[in-house]
Amino acid sequence: MIQETFKQATQKQIGFNKRQRTALTIVLGCTILLSVFFIGFFLDEKIITTILSERNASPSLDHLFGTDWLGRDMFIRTLKGLYMSIAVGVIGAVGSTIIAVFLGVSSAMLGKWADKWITWLIDLFLSVPHLVTLILIAFMLGGGFHGIAIGIAVTHWPSLARVIRAETMQIRSSPYVQMSKNFGKTKGWIMVHHVLPAIVPQIVIGFILLFPHAILHEAAITFLGFGISPHEPAIGIILSESMKYLSSGMWWLAFFPGLCLLFIVRIFDRIGVGLRMLIEPNQSRD
């Protein structure tokens, strides 16, 4: 009996410590992301000047990420590119989340016909790779910042919509919702007062986890030439331009921007996983 009690107390303590570490990781990750975003936002593009006397310089204390073939500081260009990637991710993830919530809740609450057509639409978008659809939409909209942001918003909602639909159906069959129906409450009232508050955790987690896909896809199609304008210091543009100079030994042009992009994506992923662990206590002790 004493051993079982000690074991349970130890497990509770370990779970609590893990939750603390997870919360600290989330705070640290958010701090890093906000710092990168605001530094990139307040950086003046005039700082990225052409200095031909310092072109092709390798990484040093004066230029942490080196300089490119025009003498531009790669550290400043990378920060500006990360800001643009985060901005595109925010707009795309917000748009996708709004579409997913609207369609997921509507599919579960508006009857069989709405569920049939919305499920068909979800399956249709899931059957086509995101990158292909994103390229087509961005090309149709003329590319650029707004084109890629809209393209991400239109193409990244199906998985989250399916999750929200399943959660809404489970809530719809709960006793308190059935009781509200018996009292004559409308579907709109039930959605606002019962469904939406209950699926807020899924919405927040889904919103965070959309960021990595949005950022990587933005960089991918920009790298291929269908995204942000070549005149902007986007990470995809930087990586695309650096391909011409890798054979000359200028490895830093692609290495540092690519590493920073993966670092930002990994932070978003860890924040999403951490939030899921905090919201679902059973998983936090696994």
User: pLDDT class for 142, splitting at 50, 70, 90?
Assistant: confident
What end-to-end distance do the CA atoms of the chain give, in Å? 24
Q: Higher pLDDT residue, 188 or 203?
A: 203
Q: So what's the pLDDT on residue 184?
A: 77
Q: So what's the pLDDT on residue 281?
A: 56
Average pLDDT, integer, range 181-197: 80
- pLDDT of 29 strictly over 60: yes
What domains are defined for the chain?
73-284 (1.10.3720.10)
Q: How far, in Å, CA of 128 to CA of 212, rounded?
A: 19
**Average pLDDT over the chain, rounded to an integer:** 81
User: pLDDT class for 9, splitting at 50, 70, 90?
Assistant: very low
pLDDT in tens, 199-258: 888 888 888 888 888 888 888 888 877 777 777 778 888 888 888 888 788 888 888 888
Q: So what's the pLDDT on residue 3?
A: 45
Q: How far, in Å, CA of 244 to CA of 246, rounded?
A: 6
pTM over 0.85, yes/no: no
Token couple for 198: 């209950």
Contact by Cβ (8 Å): 39, 83: yes
- pLDDT of 283 strictly over 50: no
User: pLDDT class for 271, splitting at 50, 70, 90?
Assistant: confident
Q: So what's the pLDDT on residue 117?
A: 92
pLDDT in tens, 88-118: 888 888 999 999 999 988 888 887 888 899 9
